[in-house]
Chain A
Amino acid sequence: QKEVEQDPGPLSVPEGAIVSLNCTYSNSAFQYFMWYRQYSRKGPELLMYTYSSGNKEDGRFTAQVDKSSKYISLFIRDSQPSDSATYLCAMTFMNTGFQKLVFGTGTRLLVSP
């Protein structure tokens, strides 16, 4: 079983749609969760980070964590063509240490005008 699983997509939606992106993980020691956006041949751009179960909102983005189910989600409201990118979930441990990130494979999102 992979440590972090993410549907690679592509996920195609019309402009204005609500997008739901998801990851599951197997290691219950993961406590800190991040979502990155990556445009083609560019570096990952941090969108959201959270370390507790529940929801965290930032503008059009909401990150949701369910540690009991080992499931995290990113919701994008009012999606725009400029949101077309690959979305990477990443997670790490919150204990002492140097906290390497473990990434999912990424979901490619296409928002059509």
Chain B
Amino acid sequence: EPEVTQTPSHQVTQMGQEVILRCVPISNHLYFYWYRQILGQKVEFLVSFYNNEISEKSEIFDDQFSVERPDGSNFTLKIRSTKLEDSAMYFCASRRGTARGEQYFGPGTRLTVT
């Protein structure tokens, strides 16, 4: 069964450093998402991406964040200058099309900012 994959599983970085989180969505899916989950809190939407552009973003997704689909398979989230409060699990999700609303999530990348 196709699944969303994410790398790395765990990333440790120092405050102020740039990080890139990588995702490979399910191959025939058209809509891509990033969510985050701070430890002990609920899953929160960050950004959605369709047709090679951002379609919606949350208040959390400020100028320090960017997304890219550099080729036909990868989908990346970049945090330009990490802060301590960026420490969280980051989940990539994908969805097939407009007629099907369900989103499939990857296993997540645990980002620790020290």
Contacts and interface: CB of A to CB of B under 8 A. Distances in A.
Interface in A85-100: 88, 90, 92, 94, 96-100
Interface residues of B, number: 29
Contact of B107 (A32, A42, A88, A99): A42
B105 A36 contact: yes
Given A98-B55, A101-B103, A44 B91 contact: yes
A43 B105 contact: yes
B108 interface: yes
Nearest to B49: A98
State the majority secondary structure of interface residues on B.
Answer: strand
B84 interface: no
Contact of B105 (A41, A46, A97): A46
The size bracket of the interface on A is 20 to 34
A34 B43 CA distance: 13
Contacts of A102: 45
A102 B45 CA distance: 7
Contacts of B95: 99
Given A46-B104, A99-B31, 13 more contacts: A41-B108, A43-B4, A43-B105, A44-B43, A45-B105, A49-B102, A51-B101, A88-B42, A97-B56, A99-B101, A100-B33, A100-B58, A101-B33
Interface of A: 32, 34, 36, 41-46, 49, 51, 88, 90, 92, 94, 96-106
Interface of B: 4, 6, 31, 33, 35, 41-45, 48, 50, 55-56, 58, 89, 91, 93, 95, 98, 101-108, 110
8 contacts: A34-B101, A34-B102, A41-B108, A44-B43, A51-B101, A96-B98, A98-B31, A98-B56
